[in-house]
Amino acid sequence: MRHSRKYDLTLGRAAPTISSMDESFEAVQDFIRVILHLDMDAFFTSVEQVDDPLLQGKPVVIGQSLRGVASAASYEARKYGIKSAMPIVQAKKLCPHAVFLPGRMARYREVSRQVMDIIRDLCPLVEQASVDEAYADISGTRRLFGPPENLALRLKAEILSATGLTCSVGIAPNKFLAKIASDWNKPDGLTRIRPIDAPAFLQALPLGKIPGVGTHFKEELRRMGVTTVPDVLARPKAYWAEALGKRGAFLHDRACGIDDSSVVPGTDPKSCSAENTLDKDTLDRALLERQLLIQAERIGRELRGIGKKGLTVTLKIKFHDFSAITRSKTLHRPTDITKEIFDAARKLLAAEKLPQPVRLIGTGVSNFRLVQVELPLMPDATRKRSRKLDETMDRILDKFGSGSIARAETAIRDADTVEDLLSQKNRTLNGQ
Ligand code: DCP
Ligand code: MG
């Protein structure tokens, strides 16, 4: 009898209740990866609105140049249909009374650092994915923080109190789903996608939200009669691998919610690159060079920002049929100078025959070397001048924002001296 009593008691204790079932379910989740993705809401414009309370509640757009595009739009501006990457001229038509600001990159970077520090303080493994977003692998943090939602709420609260800004957080079993989740309920959102819920989220996901599915790929799929995730899933993976190779297999994996990529913590970058898919496939070398110049400017600035110099410049070209080539050039000395990066990339392009129109062009700098002191052996006036030009450019871009980049491109190509550059800049700012 005693035995059975004990048995009864044990049974009683173990009898599943709804909450203990939830707990066991939650505990099982510990064995599944838990990935968190955090993305700041309307980042650049929100920083402006926090710094200048007069801007709160108003449509704000970052970008002023009539030849440029908007880099960010506040949620108030989005109500008028304004989005990032939209030409400023169009944005002004949609909402003439919006406040158009030049942007302050240095300030956004400063706030970004604050945000990333908070995430790194609380999460074990963090990968910064851009200026305003990061992934964290928070598998196994349940004992410390309880369910992942608690950790997400704490991150949101600490970021809000330190910066005055809101962010949106997604929690899911992999990076791809976590990013979908953070975007699901913006702004100030918190969305969790459990494995069991993934199919429902994916059903409603526009194909363009899958990384790598850009305008051209979407059009290609449309021609195949595929416009939704269920359309992708209606054909087996083998079909996709056969029809589109790696791209097809990747597409099918993502449509199933599969992504095995790891969160790679912020190790020292090994390279810096930039690439652009062109509006239209082209053989126009002048246009391609112009892209290289924009990329060299971006990479040079990035390198100078992180204090790195690279010895190898790489050119990447993707052609109309998606075939791709890369060509590299090793320089005599490591560089972070925009003009040197541009010159190397331009030479690589000049040496290439273009058998078919170019779809995408990119530049990369790698093979970083630590060179703190310029060798005095070769007094190099050109290099000094280029460096001075870059410093001035960096200051201008910090001050006037990325909207001024279009002017900067022309300036850097044409300017021989810093004075030239500044006078061009002033002319442009004065609308001449
Ligand atoms: N950005 C840019 N050019 C683009 C897109 C974005 O300069 N074409 C900058 C401005 C954004 C910041 O990067 O504020 C972050 O980009 P997001 O895509 O995360 O956009 P937001 O943070 O502005 O808005 P959301 O709330 O949708 O994340
Ligand atoms: Mg954002």
Residue 139 placed within a domain: yes
Q: What domain range includes position 415?
A: 271-429
CATH number for 356 = 3.30.1490.100
pLDDT digits (tens, 9 = 90+) for 262-276: 998 865 667 888 888
- Decide if pLDDT at 207 tops 60: yes
Q: What is the pLDDT of residue 13?
A: 33
Q: Any catalytic annotation for residue 275?
A: no
Rounded to the nearest angstrom, the distance between the alpha carbon of 133 and the centre of ligand 2 is 7
Whether residues 160 and 308 share a domain: the answer is: no
From 88, 109, 116, 132, the mutation candidate for ligand 1 (largest count of ligand atoms within 8 A of CB) is 132
- Where residue 247 falls among pLDDT bands split at 50, 70, 90? very high
Claim to verify: residue 233 and residue 187 sit in the same structural domain: no
399 contacts 291 by C-beta, under 8 angstroms = no
- Has residue 351 been placed in a domain? yes
Of residues 412 and 359, the one with the higher pLDDT is 359
Query: CB-side exposure of 52: number of CA atoms within 13 Å?
Result: 12
- Cα distance between residue 279 and residue 302, in whole Å: 25
Would the pLDDT of 143 be above 90? no
* Same domain membership, residue 164 and residue 185: yes
CA distance 387 to 393: 10
CA 146-152-183 angle, 5° bins: 140
Query: What global pTM score does this model have?
Result: 0.66
In the predicted structure, residue 320 carries a pLDDT above the cut 50: yes
- Of 53-62, 276-285, 301-310, 418-427, the range with the lowest mean pLDDT is 418-427
For residue 250, give the CATH number of its domain: 1.10.150.20
What does the pLDDT read at residue 54? 97
Measured from the Cβ of residue 79, the count of other Cβ atoms closer than 10 Å reads 12
Reply yes or no on whether the pLDDT at 210 is more than 50.
Answer: yes
**38 and 125 housed in the same domain:** yes
Higher-confidence residue of 399 and 420: namely: 399
pLDDT of 376 higher than 90: no
Residue 98: its pLDDT value, please? Answer: 98
Which residues is 361 bridged to in the sheet? 276, 317
More confident residue, 323 or 429: 323
Of 133, 158, 219, 374, which residue is the catalytic one?
Answer: 133
Whether the per-residue pLDDT at 19 is higher than 80: the answer is no
Residues 300 and 249 in one domain: no
Higher pLDDT, 302 or 1: 302
In ligand 1, the atom with minimum distance to the C-alpha of 187 is: 26
Which residues have CB under 8 Å from 306's CB, separation 6+?
269, 272
Beta strand 60-62 with 99-101: parallel, antiparallel or unpaired?
parallel
Q: What would the two tokens of residue 41 be? A: 């809401």
Instruction: Give the rounded percent of residues in the chain with a pLDDT score beyond 90.
Output: 57
Contact 365, 271 (CB under 8 A): yes
